[in-house]
Amino acid sequence: MPHVVIIGRPNVGKSTLFNRLVGKKLALVDDQPGVTRDRRFGDAELLGLAFTIVDTAGWEDDDPSSLPGRMRAQTEAALEGATVALFVIDARAGLTPLDEEIGRHLHESSVPVVLLANKAEGRAGDSGLFESYALGFGDPIAFSAEHGEGLADLFQALLPLIGEPEEEEERSEDEPEYDPKSVLKLAVVGRPNAGKSTLINRLLGEDRLLTGPEAGITRDSIAVDWEWRDPATGESRPIRLIDTAGMRKKAQVVDKLERLSVADARRAIDFAEVVVLLLDATRGLEHQDLKIASMVLEEGRALMIAINKWDVAEDASGLFNGVRAALDDGLAQVRGLPLVAVSARTGKGLDQMLGAAFSLRDAWSRRVPTAALNRWFDDALTANPPPAPGGRRIKLRYITQAKTRPPGFVLFGTRLDMLPESYRRYLVNGIRRELGFDAVPIRLTLRSPK
């Protein structure tokens, strides 16, 4: 059970809030400060969200002047084991130095904070509500513990922090479960003369497409369904091969060939799950190839690279390493794209290429359970805490995988507009490396609670 801890100076309405969330008159409420002495735990329920609510005491003291001095230790004690802190202020009274003191200590902790401006029913709390922005916890929730106002906003704020829906419920209706045995939609793209038609002919084992030294001589063909027998498992695996060379003719464009290959690739990408970028071993990796590669990644498709004409490659290992380095250099988005050496002419490396394409689609379709994701997330933040631009820490609270194919993640926190690109990359690379996404393009959306 997540622990939601109520924190605030005496008399702001903590006990009333506790009662409201537990639904029973458990805590003693009194107009006089100093009534609440112990920590109390209750089973809370808020619009279907279940958590343990903790009402903290110890703020109260017979001698209020000694309170600020003890504040740090008490905040720490109160936050022990907390998933979220509900920081309550009295909107009618406005901000007091004690509120600011508590706020400072809360900023020092890594526990996410939701700010409640209590007693905000009617208009009497308006100015306190606006003042409370100064505490630096984002938008305060206008709340009335006594009248039960603001409960939906509180729910909204807590949901990303403690709501961990069942894995089954996470998948949206329009996203059917991934079947690794389904037809692989595969496109082969590349510059003219890289050997795309020859490759497709070789795969299909029949002369379906015309090949020749002049680029662009192909019969019309958009997609071909066939079965590949995986020598590793003996299984037959269905593939729908999208032939961009065939599309080129369809497009009836006789413009510059280089520009054409980009247009081909763009169309192929619309169809494909996995895109194989074919390079010509006799030419290496050229600018145009990087352009196509970036486009595939921007479109969120799984990308792999095959160096063709390996049968005539000179200095094979030098070439391979050179292409690897140029890819890692030229494509900032991903490192370690699957790279295979093939020969469309001899058939070398083609089984390896197709095996890699299926594995890549698995990674591209992968879903990580929220709990595992956040375990990784906590470790990543501990290993390398987010920076504090201007001395104020950026709070990263919770991460969830919102979609697959390509994988998309949503990161919740505060001051996210200040998050440097390098830190974002640190997270994305960590997701990729440590959660099994390999070289798949990953999207990370940043979201601050309203």
Binding stretches for ligand GDP (CB under 6 A): 8, 10-16, 29-31, 36, 118-119, 121, 144-147, 190, 192-198, 211-213, 215, 245, 308-309, 311-312, 343-345
Does residue 219 have a known ligand-binding role? no
Question: Is the Cβ of residue 278 or residue 373 nearer to ligand GDP in the bound state?
Answer: 278
Does residue 12 have a known ligand-binding role? yes
Does residue 34 have a known ligand-binding role? no
Give the tokens for residue 30: 């009194």
Question: Is the Cβ of residue 74 or residue 198 nearer to ligand GDP in the bound state?
Answer: 198
Asked if 441 contacts 301 with a C-beta cutoff of 8 angstroms, the reply is yes
CA angle 151–152–158, rounded 5-degree value = 90
Does residue 182 have a known ligand-binding role? no
We find the least distance from the C-beta atom of residue 384 to ligand GDP, in angstroms, to be 38
Q: How far apart are the first and last CA of the chain?
A: 24
Question: Is the Cβ of residue 29 or residue 251 nearer to ligand GDP in the bound state?
Answer: 29
Does residue 13 have a known ligand-binding role? yes
We find the least distance from the C-beta atom of residue 188 to ligand GDP, in angstroms, to be 8
Report the distance separating Cα 289 and Cα 282, nearest Å: 14
Does residue 216 have a known ligand-binding role? no
Query: Phi/psi at 304 (nearest 5 deg)?
Result: -135, 160
Does residue 35 have a known ligand-binding role? no
We find the least distance from the C-beta atom of residue 398 to ligand GDP, in angstroms, to be 27
Question: Is the Cβ of residue 221 or residue 365 nearer to ligand GDP in the bound state?
Answer: 221
Report the distance separating Cα 204 and Cα 193, nearest Å: 19
Question: Is the Cβ of residue 16 or residue 52 nearer to ligand GDP in the bound state?
Answer: 16
Does residue 57 have a known ligand-binding role? yes
Q: What is the DSSP string of 153-202?
A: HHHHHHHHHH----HHHHS-TTSPPP-TTSPEEEEEEESTTSSHHHHHHH
We find the least distance from the C-beta atom of residue 122 to ligand GDP, in angstroms, to be 8
Residue position matching structure tokens 């799950």: 273
Asked if 15 contacts 29 with a C-beta cutoff of 8 angstroms, the reply is yes
Q: Which helix (H) or strand (E) holds 395?
A: strand 395-403
Written as one letter, the residue type at 253 is V
List of E strands, 295-433: 302-308, 339-341, 395-403, 408-414
Does residue 223 have a known ligand-binding role? no
Question: Is the Cβ of residue 278 or residue 431 nearer to ligand GDP in the bound state?
Answer: 278
Alpha helix positions (H), 39-90: 67-79
Asked if 188 contacts 200 with a C-beta cutoff of 8 angstroms, the reply is yes
We find the least distance from the C-beta atom of residue 107 to ligand GDP, in angstroms, to be 21
Question: Is the Cβ of residue 20 or residue 432 nearer to ligand GDP in the bound state?
Answer: 20
Asked if 382 contacts 376 with a C-beta cutoff of 8 angstroms, the reply is no
Asked if 278 contacts 304 with a C-beta cutoff of 8 angstroms, the reply is no
Binding region: 8-15, 55-59, 118-121, 190-197, 243-247, 308-311
Binding region for GTP: 8-15, 55-59, 118-121, 190-197, 243-247, 308-311
